[in-house]
Structure 1
């Protein structure tokens, strides 16, 4: 049985879509998955990037595309009342549903992702957050230093492993980023011989002819 780590931030519509698609993409394979909440903004800061929603034309395109993808994949998807939003409360709630050092289960992850991406409501509305918290019944204090530190540590560790965005699925020593990375992941797990060739590793040695000055 292969172990996969699915790293995500509920702020990402691609994380929601990939989460919903994952069981179908991996149908017939023997695997288990751990779900790791991390802060996308922390990854972006680590790598010196802007998020898609911080670039106005890209923001508009991203929202149009994910609405189309939801339609195409026949998955319910409505933009929340405001986006981007601060996902810290949701990330900490997810971590608090697990014991120290653990990760939330798929059901808890699903509840949080549905809270954001189904219904078009405010992800940080106090009444909705309260109801979600009651439903998830966290094992630990959501606002504790322990939970906050765990989220920081998980995000830093993810960046150290080379994660630059969400969702990312890790298996063996390989990272598969994004909704469109699921097809590549499925091929790898099903033994596609392409992965035995040089292409996967060779790109890391490709020289850059120019670097833009910031």
Structure 2
């Protein structure tokens, strides 16, 4: 059975545009997933990337066209300039880590719900009430939003170090235990083919 380490940031528009396809692909192949939210800005600084706001205007202009195109292809609503972006990623990331440790709900639904709040619903995922609502909607105890903060912080930092060690430099990033890595929601078909043995 294959295993996928899924490195992502709760503010990443491209992770949002992946929808729940990772979970669908994993279910198709009987693969397991470990969710590893991380600080994408810190990852950029460690791996030679540049935060979106500091990129050359031509790169920013391309991103402004590419995101709506990708959203339209995926059939997912997208606000290109959300009201609460950027915001503090740590609280939502800690909640995902706590939910993964607790079990009992749908982690894919939780992650997508949090990102949908940013990119479609104009909600601030640094706010406890928003996080609690997403936890509850995904079948988790909403009190996980304010528990396990120390463990969440430690795991969040560890995820960043592990990402750097494994060659991760963006989000979403999928690391399969076969040694193959896939960057971007537009590589999910390749991940699917790899798990099928065709790539």
**Length-normalised TM-score, structure 2:** 0.79
Q: Is the 8 A contact 2:95 2:144 kept in 1?
A: no
Count of matched residue pairs? 190
Between the aligned partners of 1:60 and 1:74, the Cα distance in structure 2 is: 22
| Deviation of the 1:26 alpha carbon | 6.2
Between the aligned partners of 2:28 and 2:153, the Cα distance in structure 1 is: 37
Are the structure 2 counterparts of residues 20 and 36 from structure 1 closer, same or farther at C-alpha, using a change threshold of 3 Å? Answer: same
Between the aligned partners of 1:140 and 1:130, the Cα distance in structure 2 is: 6
Computed over aligned residues only, the root mean square deviation of the Cα atoms, in angstroms, reads 2.8
**What is the DSSP-based 3-state SS (H/G/I as helix, E as strand, rest coil) of the residue aligned with 2:101?**
coil
| Deviation of the 1:86 alpha carbon | 2.6
Task: Find the structure with the greater CA-based Rg.
Answer: 1
Residue 62 of structure 2 aligns with which residue? 61
Q: Is the 8 A contact 1:96 1:138 kept in 2?
A: no
Residue 83 of structure 1 aligns with which residue? 85
**Length-normalised TM-score, structure 1:** 0.74
Residue 52 of structure 1 aligns with which residue? 52
Q: Is the 8 A contact 1:168 1:176 kept in 2?
A: yes
Q: State which drifts further: 62-71 or 148-157.
A: 62-71
- In structure 2, the gaps of 5 or more residues are none
Q: 1:187 is matched with which residue: 185, 189, 193?
A: 193
Between the aligned partners of 2:130 and 2:26, the Cα distance in structure 1 is: 33
Residue 201 of structure 1 aligns with which residue? none
Q: Is the 8 A contact 2:6 2:173 kept in 1?
A: yes
| Larger helix fraction of residues | 2
Between the aligned partners of 1:106 and 1:126, the Cα distance in structure 2 is: 19
